[in-house]
Amino acid sequence: APDISLANVQAHLNDLQTIANNNGGNRAHGRPGYLASINHLKAKLDAAGYQTAVQQFTYNGVAGYNLTADWPGGDPNDVLMLGGHLDSVTSGPGINDNGSGSAGLLEVALTVSRQAFAPRKHIRFGWWGAEELGLIGSNHYVNNLPTTERSKIKAYLNFDMIGSPNPGYFVYSASGQPTGSLLLQQTLQAAFSVPTELTSVGGRSDHAAFARAGIPVGGTFTGAEVIKTAAQAQKWGGTAGVAFDRCYHRSCDTLTNINATALDRNSDAIAYALWTLAGEGGTPPG
Protein backbone atom coordinates (compact mmCIF):
# COMPACT_ATOMS: atom_id res chain seq x y z
CA ALA A 1 0.00 0.00 0.00
CA PRO A 2 1.23 3.52 -0.68
CA ASP A 3 2.59 5.84 1.98
CA ILE A 4 0.09 8.67 2.43
CA SER A 5 1.67 12.12 2.49
CA LEU A 6 1.27 13.68 5.94
CA ALA A 7 1.93 17.11 4.41
CA ASN A 8 -0.99 16.64 2.02
CA VAL A 9 -3.33 15.53 4.83
CA GLN A 10 -2.24 18.56 6.85
CA ALA A 11 -2.92 20.81 3.86
CA HIS A 12 -6.52 19.54 3.76
CA LEU A 13 -6.85 20.23 7.48
CA ASN A 14 -5.52 23.71 6.87
CA ASP A 15 -8.21 24.20 4.21
CA LEU A 16 -10.92 23.10 6.68
CA GLN A 17 -9.56 25.48 9.33
CA THR A 18 -9.64 28.35 6.79
CA ILE A 19 -13.22 27.43 5.85
CA ALA A 20 -14.23 27.62 9.52
CA ASN A 21 -12.36 30.91 10.02
CA ASN A 22 -14.20 32.43 7.06
CA ASN A 23 -17.60 31.14 8.19
CA GLY A 24 -18.11 32.10 11.82
CA GLY A 25 -15.63 29.68 13.36
CA ASN A 26 -17.34 26.34 12.75
CA ARG A 27 -18.38 23.81 10.10
CA ALA A 28 -21.58 22.67 11.80
CA HIS A 29 -24.80 21.30 10.31
CA GLY A 30 -26.89 24.10 8.82
CA ARG A 31 -24.05 26.63 8.99
CA PRO A 32 -22.27 28.00 5.89
CA GLY A 33 -18.97 26.37 6.88
CA TYR A 34 -20.51 22.94 6.40
CA LEU A 35 -21.59 23.40 2.79
CA ALA A 36 -18.26 25.11 2.05
CA SER A 37 -16.52 21.98 3.40
CA ILE A 38 -18.64 19.74 1.17
CA ASN A 39 -17.94 21.88 -1.89
CA HIS A 40 -14.21 21.93 -1.20
CA LEU A 41 -13.96 18.14 -1.04
CA LYS A 42 -16.28 17.62 -3.98
CA ALA A 43 -14.16 19.84 -6.26
CA LYS A 44 -11.00 17.89 -5.41
CA LEU A 45 -12.68 14.52 -5.92
CA ASP A 46 -14.33 15.56 -9.20
CA ALA A 47 -10.97 16.76 -10.53
CA ALA A 48 -9.42 13.40 -9.54
CA GLY A 49 -11.94 11.42 -11.61
CA TYR A 50 -14.43 10.39 -8.94
CA GLN A 51 -18.12 10.09 -9.58
CA THR A 52 -19.46 12.29 -6.78
CA ALA A 53 -22.97 12.78 -5.46
CA VAL A 54 -24.34 15.20 -2.88
CA GLN A 55 -27.33 13.81 -1.01
CA GLN A 56 -29.48 16.42 0.68
CA PHE A 57 -31.60 15.82 3.76
CA THR A 58 -33.40 18.01 6.25
CA TYR A 59 -32.77 18.01 9.98
CA ASN A 60 -33.91 20.61 12.52
CA GLY A 61 -35.55 22.43 9.64
CA VAL A 62 -32.29 23.04 7.79
CA ALA A 63 -30.56 21.32 4.89
CA GLY A 64 -27.83 18.78 5.57
CA TYR A 65 -25.61 17.06 3.04
CA ASN A 66 -23.77 13.79 2.54
CA LEU A 67 -21.05 13.53 -0.09
CA THR A 68 -20.24 10.21 -1.75
CA ALA A 69 -17.44 9.55 -4.22
CA ASP A 70 -17.26 6.40 -6.31
CA TRP A 71 -14.00 5.32 -7.90
CA PRO A 72 -14.90 3.96 -11.36
CA GLY A 73 -14.34 0.24 -11.84
CA GLY A 74 -14.16 -2.80 -9.63
CA ASP A 75 -16.86 -5.39 -9.02
CA PRO A 76 -20.12 -3.41 -8.66
CA ASN A 77 -21.56 -6.23 -6.55
CA ASP A 78 -18.68 -6.13 -4.06
CA VAL A 79 -18.42 -2.62 -2.65
CA LEU A 80 -15.90 -1.55 -0.02
CA MET A 81 -16.99 1.67 1.61
CA LEU A 82 -14.92 4.04 3.74
CA GLY A 83 -16.27 7.14 5.48
CA GLY A 84 -16.40 9.63 8.28
CA HIS A 85 -18.35 12.70 9.30
CA LEU A 86 -17.51 16.11 7.89
CA ASP A 87 -19.59 18.27 10.24
CA SER A 88 -18.23 19.89 13.39
CA VAL A 89 -20.01 20.95 16.56
CA THR A 90 -21.02 24.63 16.65
CA SER A 91 -18.46 25.52 19.32
CA GLY A 92 -15.40 25.21 17.09
CA PRO A 93 -13.85 24.27 13.74
CA GLY A 94 -13.73 20.51 14.45
CA ILE A 95 -10.22 19.89 13.18
CA ASN A 96 -9.59 16.66 15.08
CA ASP A 97 -13.35 15.87 15.24
CA ASN A 98 -13.62 15.17 12.39
CA GLY A 99 -11.47 17.20 10.05
CA SER A 100 -8.81 14.55 10.72
CA GLY A 101 -10.77 11.57 9.41
CA SER A 102 -12.21 13.64 6.58
CA ALA A 103 -8.78 14.85 5.47
CA GLY A 104 -7.19 11.41 5.78
CA LEU A 105 -9.95 9.86 3.70
CA LEU A 106 -9.67 12.63 1.09
CA GLU A 107 -5.93 12.17 0.69
CA VAL A 108 -6.31 8.38 0.41
CA ALA A 109 -8.97 8.92 -2.26
CA LEU A 110 -6.68 11.30 -4.16
CA THR A 111 -3.85 8.76 -3.85
CA VAL A 112 -6.08 6.06 -5.38
CA SER A 113 -6.51 8.38 -8.34
CA ARG A 114 -2.84 9.40 -8.63
CA GLN A 115 -1.79 5.75 -8.62
CA ALA A 116 -4.60 4.75 -11.00
CA PHE A 117 -5.41 1.94 -8.56
CA ALA A 118 -7.45 -0.78 -10.26
CA PRO A 119 -8.97 -2.72 -7.34
CA ARG A 120 -10.92 -5.94 -7.60
CA LYS A 121 -13.68 -4.44 -5.45
CA HIS A 122 -15.58 -1.26 -6.14
CA ILE A 123 -14.54 1.55 -3.80
CA ARG A 124 -16.86 4.23 -2.45
CA PHE A 125 -16.05 7.02 0.00
CA GLY A 126 -18.63 8.84 2.13
CA TRP A 127 -18.51 12.09 4.11
CA TRP A 128 -21.51 12.37 6.42
CA GLY A 129 -23.49 15.35 7.61
CA ALA A 130 -25.05 16.07 11.01
CA GLU A 131 -23.20 13.29 12.85
CA GLU A 132 -22.92 15.59 15.84
CA LEU A 133 -26.71 15.86 16.07
CA GLY A 134 -27.21 12.10 16.29
CA LEU A 135 -25.62 10.32 13.32
CA ILE A 136 -28.27 11.88 11.08
CA GLY A 137 -26.51 11.86 7.70
CA SER A 138 -25.16 8.32 7.78
CA ASN A 139 -28.53 7.01 8.99
CA HIS A 140 -30.21 8.90 6.17
CA TYR A 141 -27.82 7.38 3.64
CA VAL A 142 -28.21 3.78 4.81
CA ASN A 143 -31.98 4.04 5.35
CA ASN A 144 -32.52 5.42 1.86
CA LEU A 145 -30.38 2.87 0.01
CA PRO A 146 -32.49 0.46 -2.01
CA THR A 147 -32.19 -3.06 -0.57
CA THR A 148 -30.27 -4.27 -3.61
CA GLU A 149 -27.74 -1.44 -3.30
CA ARG A 150 -27.38 -2.02 0.42
CA SER A 151 -26.62 -5.69 -0.12
CA LYS A 152 -23.73 -4.81 -2.45
CA ILE A 153 -21.86 -3.02 0.37
CA LYS A 154 -19.78 -5.83 1.87
CA ALA A 155 -17.83 -3.73 4.38
CA TYR A 156 -17.75 -0.24 5.87
CA LEU A 157 -14.72 1.36 7.55
CA ASN A 158 -15.19 4.49 9.68
CA PHE A 159 -12.63 7.14 10.62
CA ASP A 160 -13.66 9.67 13.27
CA MET A 161 -10.92 11.48 15.27
CA ILE A 162 -7.60 10.11 14.02
CA GLY A 163 -5.22 12.86 15.13
CA SER A 164 -5.90 13.33 18.84
CA PRO A 165 -3.21 15.46 20.55
CA ASN A 166 -2.51 12.86 23.29
CA PRO A 167 -3.24 9.89 21.09
CA GLY A 168 -4.22 6.31 21.69
CA TYR A 169 -4.34 3.77 18.90
CA PHE A 170 -7.76 2.17 19.04
CA VAL A 171 -9.38 -0.22 16.61
CA TYR A 172 -13.05 -1.01 16.86
CA SER A 173 -15.59 -3.26 15.29
CA ALA A 174 -19.18 -3.80 16.40
CA SER A 175 -20.52 -6.45 18.70
CA GLY A 176 -22.70 -9.22 17.30
CA GLN A 177 -21.29 -8.60 13.85
CA PRO A 178 -21.09 -10.93 10.85
CA THR A 179 -17.86 -12.92 10.46
CA GLY A 180 -16.51 -10.45 7.89
CA SER A 181 -15.91 -7.93 10.67
CA LEU A 182 -13.10 -10.05 12.15
CA LEU A 183 -11.14 -9.61 8.91
CA LEU A 184 -11.71 -5.84 9.04
CA GLN A 185 -10.52 -5.69 12.63
CA GLN A 186 -7.43 -7.80 11.91
CA THR A 187 -6.58 -5.77 8.81
CA LEU A 188 -6.85 -2.48 10.68
CA GLN A 189 -4.68 -3.80 13.51
CA ALA A 190 -2.09 -5.09 11.02
CA ALA A 191 -1.98 -1.61 9.47
CA PHE A 192 -0.18 -0.20 12.52
CA SER A 193 3.47 -0.53 13.44
CA VAL A 194 2.54 0.47 17.00
CA PRO A 195 0.46 -1.60 19.45
CA THR A 196 -3.29 -1.08 19.16
CA GLU A 197 -6.09 -1.64 21.64
CA LEU A 198 -9.30 -3.23 20.53
CA THR A 199 -12.14 -1.17 21.94
CA SER A 200 -15.89 -0.93 21.76
CA VAL A 201 -17.28 2.48 20.90
CA GLY A 202 -20.87 1.26 20.70
CA GLY A 203 -23.02 3.47 18.51
CA ARG A 204 -20.93 6.60 18.93
CA SER A 205 -20.13 7.18 15.25
CA ASP A 206 -21.32 6.64 11.70
CA HIS A 207 -20.47 2.94 11.47
CA ALA A 208 -23.59 2.30 13.58
CA ALA A 209 -26.08 2.64 10.72
CA PHE A 210 -24.09 0.20 8.59
CA ALA A 211 -23.77 -2.29 11.45
CA ARG A 212 -27.51 -2.14 12.04
CA ALA A 213 -28.02 -3.00 8.37
CA GLY A 214 -25.93 -6.14 8.87
CA ILE A 215 -22.84 -4.81 7.10
CA PRO A 216 -19.46 -5.71 8.67
CA VAL A 217 -17.88 -2.54 10.08
CA GLY A 218 -14.58 -1.43 11.54
CA GLY A 219 -12.71 1.72 12.33
CA THR A 220 -9.79 3.44 13.99
CA PHE A 221 -9.85 6.17 16.63
CA THR A 222 -7.25 8.04 18.67
CA GLY A 223 -9.48 8.91 21.62
CA ALA A 224 -11.71 11.71 22.84
CA GLU A 225 -12.67 12.74 26.40
CA VAL A 226 -11.36 9.63 28.19
CA ILE A 227 -8.17 9.96 30.27
CA LYS A 228 -5.00 8.18 29.12
CA THR A 229 -3.81 5.65 31.72
CA ALA A 230 -0.22 5.19 32.86
CA ALA A 231 -0.05 1.87 31.00
CA GLN A 232 -1.26 3.54 27.81
CA ALA A 233 1.29 6.37 28.15
CA GLN A 234 3.92 3.67 28.66
CA LYS A 235 3.21 2.00 25.31
CA TRP A 236 2.11 5.02 23.25
CA GLY A 237 3.91 7.95 24.81
CA GLY A 238 2.04 11.14 25.61
CA THR A 239 0.68 12.18 28.99
CA ALA A 240 -0.99 9.90 31.53
CA GLY A 241 -3.83 11.45 33.50
CA VAL A 242 -4.80 13.73 30.61
CA ALA A 243 -7.62 13.21 28.10
CA PHE A 244 -6.75 11.84 24.66
CA ASP A 245 -8.32 15.04 23.32
CA ARG A 246 -8.65 17.86 25.86
CA CYS A 247 -10.30 20.02 23.20
CA TYR A 248 -13.00 17.50 22.30
CA HIS A 249 -16.12 19.46 21.25
CA ARG A 250 -14.51 22.74 22.26
CA SER A 251 -13.45 25.90 20.46
CA CYS A 252 -9.79 24.85 20.85
CA ASP A 253 -10.24 21.92 18.43
CA THR A 254 -8.09 23.80 15.91
CA LEU A 255 -5.03 23.01 13.78
CA THR A 256 -2.89 22.98 16.93
CA ASN A 257 -5.08 20.19 18.38
CA ILE A 258 -3.51 17.54 16.14
CA ASN A 259 -0.75 15.01 16.79
CA ALA A 260 1.00 14.72 13.43
CA THR A 261 2.36 11.22 14.08
CA ALA A 262 -1.08 9.86 14.93
CA LEU A 263 -2.58 11.57 11.89
CA ASP A 264 0.12 10.11 9.65
CA ARG A 265 -0.12 6.58 11.07
CA ASN A 266 -3.89 6.53 10.76
CA SER A 267 -3.90 7.98 7.24
CA ASP A 268 -1.41 5.31 6.23
CA ALA A 269 -3.65 2.74 7.94
CA ILE A 270 -6.65 3.84 5.85
CA ALA A 271 -4.59 3.26 2.71
CA TYR A 272 -3.28 -0.08 3.99
CA ALA A 273 -6.80 -1.30 4.74
CA LEU A 274 -8.13 -0.09 1.42
CA TRP A 275 -5.35 -1.64 -0.67
CA THR A 276 -5.42 -4.90 1.33
CA LEU A 277 -9.18 -5.36 1.42
CA ALA A 278 -10.04 -4.11 -2.08
CA GLY A 279 -7.38 -6.26 -3.72
CA GLU A 280 -5.45 -5.78 -6.94
CA GLY A 281 -6.44 -7.02 -10.34
CA GLY A 282 -9.55 -5.09 -11.30
CA THR A 283 -10.17 -3.35 -14.59
CA PRO A 284 -8.05 -0.17 -14.83
CA PRO A 285 -10.06 3.07 -14.82
CA GLY A 286 -11.06 3.93 -18.39
Binding site for Ca ion (CB under 5 A): 3-4, 264, 268
Cα distance between residue 49 and residue 66, in whole Å: 19
Q: Using CB under 6 A, which of 224, 247, 262, 271 touches ligand PHE?
A: 224
Closer residue to Ca ion, CB minimum distance, 80 or 263: 263
Q: Rule CB under 5 A: is residue 97 a binding residue for Zn ion?
A: yes
Q: Rule CB under 6 A: is residue 201 a binding residue for ligand PHE?
A: yes
CB of 245 to Ca ion, least distance (A): 21
Helix (H) or strand (E) holding 212: helix 207-212
CB of 77 to Zn ion, least distance (A): 31
Q: Rule CB under 6 A: is residue 205 a binding residue for ligand PHE?
A: yes
Which phi and psi angles does 202 have, rounded to 5°? 55, -135
Of 6-14, 64-72, 175-183, 259-267, which part binds Zn ion (CB under 5 A)?
Answer: 6-14
| Contacting residues for 126 by C-beta, under 8 A, at least 6 apart | 66, 67, 68, 69, 81, 82, 83, 84, 138, 141
Q: Rule CB under 6 A: is residue 131 a binding residue for ligand PHE?
A: yes
Catalytic-labelled residue, pool 131, 132, 149, 280: 131
225 is catalytic: no
Q: What DSSP string runs through 142-192?
A: HHTS-HHHHHHEEEEEEE-----SS---EEE--TT--THHHHHHHHHHHT-
Contacts with Zn ion, residue ranges (CB under 5 A):
12, 15, 97-98, 160
Residues serving a catalytic function are 131
Contacts with ligand PHE, residue ranges (CB under 6 A):
97, 131-132, 160-161, 201, 204-205, 221, 224
